[in-house]
Amino acid sequence: MTNFISVQLKKASEVDLAKPLCKFIQQSYPGGDAQAEHCRAAEELSKLRKSALGRPLDKHESALETVLRYYDQLCAIEPKFPFSENQVCVTFTWKDAFDKGSLFGGSAKLALASLGYEKTCVLFNCGALASQIAAEQNLDNDEGLKAAAKHYQFASGAFQHIKDTVLSALNREPTVDISPDTVGTLSLIMLAQAQEVFFLKATRDKMKDGIIAKLANQAADYYGDAYKQCQYKDTLPKEVFPVLAAKHCIMQANAEYHQSILAKQQKKFGEEIGRLQHAADLVKTVASRYDEYINVKDLVDKINRALTAAKKDNDFIYHDRVPDLKDLESIGKASLVKSTPVVVPLSQKFTDLFEKMVPLQVQQSVSVYNQRKADLVNRSIAQMREATNLANGVLASLNLPAAIEDVSGDTVPQSILNKSKSVIEQGGIQTVDQLIKDLPELLQRNKEILDESLRLLDEEETTDNDLRTKFKERWQRTPSNELYKPLRAEGASYHNILSKAVQADGQVKERYQAHRDTIALLCKPESELNAAIPSANPAKTLQGSEVVNVLKTLLANLDEVKKEREQLENDLKSVNFDMTSKFLTALAQDGAINEEAISVTELDRIYGSYTQKVQESLKKQEELLKNIQNAHQDFSKMKQSNNESNLREEVLKNLAVANDNFVELVANLKEGTKFYNELTEFLLKFQNKCSDIVFARKTERDELLKDLQQSIAREPSAPSIPLPTYQTTSAGGSKPAASSTPTPAPRTMVGTKPQPPARPPPPVISAASSSSSASAPSGTAAAPAAAPAAAPAPGASAPAASTAPPQAQGPPYPTYPGYPGYCPMPMPLAYNSYMYGQYNLPYAPAPVFQNPGQAPYPAPQQPGYPFPQQPFYPQQ
């Protein structure tokens, strides 16, 4: 009697997960042991998918464990990898589990670049495999019954979870097998079968009949609800419907049978007979309608024996009145099953392959924190460098410290010699020339990478637009112009960066040209440098004076401030603090990360003392410069002034400014070279992202084109031809009653199996009638054809003219594309006085034969044939 429903597995196309995941890992994580470990985990994940989906699975616990482990791993990596069409793009292709396909089109399938879609399909397979394992259990022992009930309830929970999440997990309409209606019905079927297993166990354990009746009635209710859900929907295989209808009747019959035993124990013999009669009617319906699906012979015999004995006892002994079915009390219900909720991990042996990889939300928070940290450090360093440049500019404008070192008036001051030596050690003017020469090459390389990346996007977008225009609403995928918006924005950002870099390069070159001659003078030997400086002795009388000593002290203090800044800058750059643990803790405690609050608090704690030292240094310099300027005013008033001394002082100032500009130019050019090299790495990653998504889109495009070709091949090449009148209208002129499918509601009799209408016999055309009609006068030639063949029976309504069969009947012949249609053999033509007028031809037309695969051409009207010609429908 037991015949349980199991669900077919979905079939997945092969996908290489290792390559895109490894590429993301290499782009997002620094090289080293961690990166290599994550790449090995990606390869293991790809192997796990092949084991779970790439081979036929046995109906065994170990196979289910493999699929569960893969599902758990998908849930574990979801927060760690940005699976999407424009980041980690992996297209998963799955076939419909219930679609058998067609000869030309193949089975229906759906390809999506969505990890949620992959999770949904894998969970469907978990439920399907659990239903198959449950159906294979031996229900003659307790272990088999417990295992079956456990797996059915798990399958029910899996399908219910899909019903609740599939629409949010997918960004388009799912295939029929994972649609909410289908999986909702499957969940109810699995729950009904789990309830039936508990009924079988209660029966086997010989529990009280009242309890068994309630269990059976609840199972019947589940089966009835499942049947009602899919009765008018073509979503499940057709063989499921009769099994559900039969199971509903069988469970209700069992409930009535065991309730009748309880009635007998309570000496309600009439109720006993009424319930047994209802049970007998239910199993009789199953035996007559669904015998090919479920064998109920033993149950029929058991109920009939009990009914016969009950009737006999009641007729001879009790004489109790048998109540009507509607007067019987309803049987209670007792549900012992519920859908097992999906709580990850589902596998008892699950270990996360990417356990050491932090979730994507934490990665993003760390990235934003690092950006905040970089902004803070760069802002502090920029303030200190700007202050140092300001100090150098002020000193150069005051010709310090050269003015107080220039004792003899005909030698190079020591500070100028030190500056000249520093410039020569750094390569002098040749270094600057080489750095400026390298910039255009680096810039051009970056431009070419960016242009090539955008060209890939443009070409794919053009192809997508052309196909969308061609196929219109059939081209169901995300438009490229919408999908590429983030990449376009990123490309525009890189373009703006390059434009600003070009402007900065131009400013550096202009500055270099303005100070090139003076920098070249600093690069010359001391003798040539001394010769280029005019001789004078403006400050000889001031040597050893108090104002000179004050200036020297102030300049020494300013140099000390500069050295402290250099150390402070190194300290700011060297500070490092890993925020991963902080963000992980916040995510574990709150389920979310308030990045801004956490980052601001930690940055203030870590860098608060350094920022305070920066501000103190700026204030100290401001006071020193003010004092230096005041002391220099006193110094200028006291020193001798003439044209020669003024000219010498101007040259020394220019040399000091040239030194400062050389240092700044070299720093800027080296920073620009570093910037272009780092930008090249970012642009190469951007190019890889563009090429990856374009490749994925091309693969998706090829799959979609293949599916469209298959769907076009499945479409009929000719319009649907209406059925002949004799197949849609009964002989009496009214439509036959539609075959009613059984509605297995409680205590509802299931109707008889509908039969197709009888095929009318072919008309018999005698040779005599043919010859007589052919030789009849023209005025009476049509009379025999219009006369009825036989008078209608008394009381019967005359058939309408449209009810006559349009041509002689026979077996239907298909006209599928590629197969020749049925062509009736031409009959011999006799003289017909109306043929000339009908065809407007002076001769009889020759028979025409159509090409293979084409619908037959209309044959000429045959003389003596009493019915109108079959209408011709051309095949498109």
Cβ contact 110:175 at 8 Å:
yes
Confidence of residue 719 (pLDDT cuts 50, 70, 90): low
Whole-number Å distance between alpha carbons of 358 and 345: 18
Residue % of the chain over a pLDDT of 70: 77
Asked if residue 836 has pLDDT above 90, the reply is no
Which burial class, exposed, middle or buried, applies to 216 when counting CB atoms under 10 A from its CB (0-12, 13-18, 19+)?
A: buried
Q: What's at 159, amino acid-wise?
A: F
Dihedral-angle region of residue 472 (phi above 0 means left; psi in -120 to 50 means alpha; beta otherwise): left
Asked if residue 663 has pLDDT above 50, the reply is yes
Confidence of residue 772 (pLDDT cuts 50, 70, 90): very low
Q: What's at 285, amino acid-wise?
A: T
Confidence of residue 829 (pLDDT cuts 50, 70, 90): very low
pLDDT reported for residue 816: 42
Query: Mapping DSSP to helix (H, G, I), strand (E, B) and coil, where does residue 458 land?
Result: helix
Cβ contact 283:316 at 8 Å:
no
pLDDT per residue as tens digits for the range 676-691: 998 998 899 889 889 8
Q: Which of 81, 156, 85 is nearest to 126 (CA)?
A: 156
- For the chain, give the mean pLDDT: 79
Higher pLDDT, 613 or 530: 613
The Cβ of residue 179 has, within 10 Å, a number of other Cβ atoms equal to: 18
Confidence of residue 639 (pLDDT cuts 50, 70, 90): low
Q: How many CA atoms lie within 13 A of 787 on its CB side?
A: 10
Cβ contact 412:533 at 8 Å:
yes
Global confidence as pTM? 0.62
pLDDT per residue as tens digits for the range 508-518: 888 888 888 88
Mean pLDDT of the region 87-91: 84
pLDDT reported for residue 724: 52
**H-type alpha helices, 205-293:** 209-230, 240-265, 269-289
Asked if residue 44 has pLDDT above 90, the reply is yes
Asked if residue 716 has pLDDT above 70, the reply is no
Per-position DSSP letters for 800-812, written without gaps between them? PGGGS-SS-----
Per-position DSSP letters for 751-779, written without gaps between them? PPPP-PPPPPPPPP--HHHHHHHHHS-GG
Cβ contact 697:480 at 8 Å:
yes
Cβ contact 165:120 at 8 Å:
yes
Distant-in-sequence, close-in-space partners of 254: CB < 8 Å, separation ≥ 6: 199, 212, 213, 216, 279, 299
Cβ contact 599:579 at 8 Å:
yes
pLDDT per residue as tens digits for the range 146-177: 999 999 999 999 999 999 999 888 877 888 89
Q: How many CA atoms lie within 13 A of 624 on its CB side?
A: 25
Distant-in-sequence, close-in-space partners of 730: CB < 8 Å, separation ≥ 6: 736, 757
Whole-number Å distance between alpha carbons of 21 and 38: 9
Whole-number Å distance between alpha carbons of 681 and 671: 16
Whole-number Å distance between alpha carbons of 209 and 214: 9
- The reply to whether omega before 345 is within 30° of 0 (cis) is yes
- Written in H, E and C, the secondary structure of 579-601 is CHHHHHHHHHHHCCCCHHHHHHH
Higher pLDDT, 518 or 754: 518
Whole-number Å distance between alpha carbons of 327 and 205: 31
pLDDT reported for residue 805: 43
Confidence of residue 356 (pLDDT cuts 50, 70, 90): confident
Whole-number Å distance between alpha carbons of 35 and 55: 30
Cβ contact 374:575 at 8 Å:
no
Residue 359 DSSP code:
P
Highest mean pLDDT among 225-239, 320-334, 580-594, 753-767: 320-334
Cβ contact 717:708 at 8 Å:
no
Query: Mapping DSSP to helix (H, G, I), strand (E, B) and coil, where does residue 875 land?
Result: coil
pLDDT reported for residue 8: 92
- The reply to whether omega before 401 is within 30° of 0 (cis) is yes
Cβ contact 686:575 at 8 Å:
no
Asked if residue 791 has pLDDT above 80, the reply is no
Q: Give Cα separations from 388 to 98, 123, 602 (angstroms).
A: 76, 65, 29
pLDDT reported for residue 158: 96
Confidence of residue 303 (pLDDT cuts 50, 70, 90): very high
Residue 324 DSSP code:
-
